[in-house]
Amino acid sequence: MKLPFFLLLLLALAGCAAPDAVEGGRLRHATLLHIGRGDDHSVVTVRNPWDTTRVLQRYVLVPHDAPLPSPLPEGTLIRTPLRRTLSQSSVHAALAVRLQAEHRLAGICDGGYVISPAVRTLALTDYGSGMQPDVERIAADSVDALLVSPFENAGHGSLARLNIPIVECADYMEGTPLGRAEWMRFYGMLWGCEERADSLFSAEEKAYLDLRRKVADGARNRPTLMVDRKEGAAWHVPGGKSYLAVLYADAGAHYLFAHHARSGSVALSLESVLATARSADVWVIKYGASANLTYASLLTDNAACEAFRPYRERRVFGCNTLAVPYYEDLPFSPSILLAEWVAMLHPELLPAHRPRYFFPLR
């Protein structure tokens, strides 16, 4: 199978030299991570996403074959590289595959929901629900670290009693696509493939910034954008301070809900969405369903869809997250995600692009 030129370029860039060392502990895009270097150890600090003046967790990374530093810095001690990692999310399992560190995985939670063929092929041990994993089995299987997504004002329940390091994967709370992707450098440190992770991120960064510049220089207009759809009682859209809102702007869109200055999701009434987005140029819907969304099924679900201009003029795109590995492939591949959006909004800028995640509705 021939790979698209854009992907070939990214793979070539990944073989280039790693980026400069972290300066003063600060990364180039990630705001919730700080990496301090010692002679024989590293100290990684994760800031609390909901109160960035506070520390969520601090980790002291020491190689297995190195003596413990004296005095030992304050924080959770992790011997690297990790050998048997439990990833609560398939997102980080997919990243391990990209970093050629899949042999560092002991298992995953919610294995039945994995979409990525690369992750499914690993046949990882399924430790049950991510909300209530099988702690007895985790302990018996000598798991040496747990990769867990934190939530505001929520602990980790029975996992916290296992005396196994819990890595707070707050990457999803970063405010930009590149900020989230840069966390791969931390995971590379944990899995013993730091140089490979640095090189891959450097390639992603260059490809993303080059494409963003191409949009800024070449886009003829900024089409107005509405996203997602009413589900249940509300229509949820990304807030204007979310990393998705940054992505939409970088792709050359005028995001119609950007005035909601929140980093998380915003619940709106149908009436509010109609008032704001009735005359939008483009409508993009991310959803998970057993059958692909069509214009007919969209109208069946909500008769008000006909009131929106992109519905009437057939400018609606959809991404079925149960049919394509959106959540596993794209959090750490922002350049590919940006290319998908540019192709929808400004197809003249990427005439050779072949969509893999977002497709016009039928």
Residues 338 and 280 in one domain: yes
In a domain, 94, yes or no: yes
In a domain, 179, yes or no: no
In a domain, 25, yes or no: no
Residues 156 and 226 in one domain: no
Give the Å distances, CA to CA, from 281 to 71, 220, 358. Answer: 60, 14, 16
pLDDT tens digits for 56-103?
A: 999 999 999 999 999 999 999 999 999 999 999 999 999 999 999 999
Using an 8 Å Cβ cutoff, are 307 and 148 in contact? no
Residues 45 and 153 in one domain: yes
Q: How large a percentage of the chain has pLDDT more than 70? A: 93
Instruction: Note if the bond before 360 is cis, omega within 30 degrees.
Output: no
Residues 57 and 115 in one domain: yes
In a domain, 243, yes or no: yes
pTM score of the predicted model: 0.90
Residues 169 and 233 in one domain: no
Amino acid making up residue 171: D
Q: What is the pLDDT of residue 6?
A: 47
- d(CA 14, CA 17) in angstroms, rounded, equals 8
Please tell me the total count of domains within the chain: 2
In a domain, 183, yes or no: no
Residues 165 and 229 in one domain: no
- d(CA 210, CA 13) in angstroms, rounded, equals 12
Residues 117 and 44 in one domain: yes
In a domain, 207, yes or no: no
Q: Residue 100: which region, alpha, beta or left (left: phi > 0; alpha: psi -120 to 50)?
A: left
Residues 272 and 344 in one domain: yes
Q: Looking at 173, 189, 210, which one is the last position of a domain?
A: 173
Residues 286 and 169 in one domain: no
Q: What is the pLDDT of residue 343?
A: 97
Q: Which residues pair with 230 in a beta bridge?
A: 235
pLDDT tens digits for 271-301?
A: 999 999 999 999 999 999 999 999 999 999 9
Domain span at 356? 221-360
Place of tokens 């590919």: 336
The CATH number of the domain holding residue 256 is 3.40.50.1980
Q: What is the pLDDT of residue 250?
A: 98
Q: How many CB atoms lie within 10 A of CB 231?
A: 11
Q: What is the pLDDT of residue 295?
A: 97
Decide: helix, strand or coil at residue 60: strand
In a domain, 270, yes or no: yes
Closest CA to 184 of 36, 27, 23: 27
Report the pLDDT averaged over residues 308-315: 97
In a domain, 101, yes or no: yes
Say if residue 21's pLDDT is above 50.
Answer: no
Residues 155 and 273 in one domain: no
